[in-house]
Structure 1
């Protein structure tokens, strides 16, 4: 497995693969790998000849009060895990390589996809995401890229951006990978103390409760939201950022649940760990 640091090295390697007729699968990450990341890498390996994983904690998608400096990092562990699932290249640039002096260009996706959900409480976040993913696509030049569905809004934004800008990359979504207790895997789970784990489970359990209520005939989203908010707040230390029922394609709020409705959740645990989760709420046989 190669470790490439500069954008120039990365692009040169990718050009060699194109000449050799090899398809490139790409998994953008911020590192501190867990089984969720590894599942994306395995999927990329199933679909392409060569797999590239970027490892870059992107500073421009963090707000001034967010956890950039505290974000967990362990390059040696990440390297070993990536190699264990057959990754061919880790691209690990420094911030100054991605954003050199004088950098002043950004990519913006329309507010219909970015102003709600995480975009409402994290202004500028999706400009940072869209900008870095565009740069990574231009540097790595993949045929396809695999993203986790846990970041459902991010996936929708990247799909729209890729289509709008004719970037020529096939975007593949991968289902959420969960811990045995149901918690969606996230690098931020490492921030949770043992006693906070129960509160974190409020997200997956709220999703299960919503599905049960819908299966029993409750389709009115405001009534569902009120029940779920009371349920989540019954866990010690929880603060609701949002509980939203949205259309899977437009991310716009819906008044009644149908086959395209996704429940998206964001909850802060003891004011410091912000976790997200999502899922369809209509029973599978009705979708």
Structure 2
């Protein structure tokens, strides 16, 4: 498939995903629709009308695989147990599509790694919660749950753009304000913890040992702790800034990947999966 067609298809899905997540509740009574069903049905319909992607299409193919995995989890009622995590996954999906359309291969690759681990953890936790009969539909299908409203607010605060200067752990002042607000909100809600994944600049001299990515995650944890969030509820991880499977980054990516990705998790959700471990 031509790159232009792939970008066009991903662009359509990105716009569609943003529209679907802007004003719909993710819950519904059985057989009566709702945001999650609308999201799932429309996303699946869109994918069915695209030309099939194969492994030769690389990152777009990987994106489709994780998108379908999320569809499966929504069908399996994952949002009944972990609405915050499902919301995060939907936001991540749109972000990855945007990165692919923008040609940011390094960012997209790192985001896909994080998304795969998130979905694998979510699948494990959902299966266990359903086995223990802990997943129950909300009583008010027409209203967003308090958990989802909280998740959206925290996500928007912690995963905003322009977090760091180039090759530095120095935080942008506007992002520091976001950390202050988020820490106060999280301190009042003991039901959640967060996982911070640090990223490094594409052309960073620390690219071999991933030092900068780790330090960025630690810096965000430090600020959140200073602002009042219990450090025991903050876990950190880092990710390779330049996966070996990619070619040399383009100049357009020089300004990208100066960030951390922060995942809001239920306090009893398992952090450990594959290479991830809570620290």
TM-score, normalised with respect to structure 2:
0.31
**Higher normalized strand content (fraction of residues):** 1
User: So what's the TM-score if we normalise by structure 1?
Assistant: 0.30
Structure with greater proportional helix content: 2
Greater relative CO (CA pairs within 8 A, separation 6+): 2
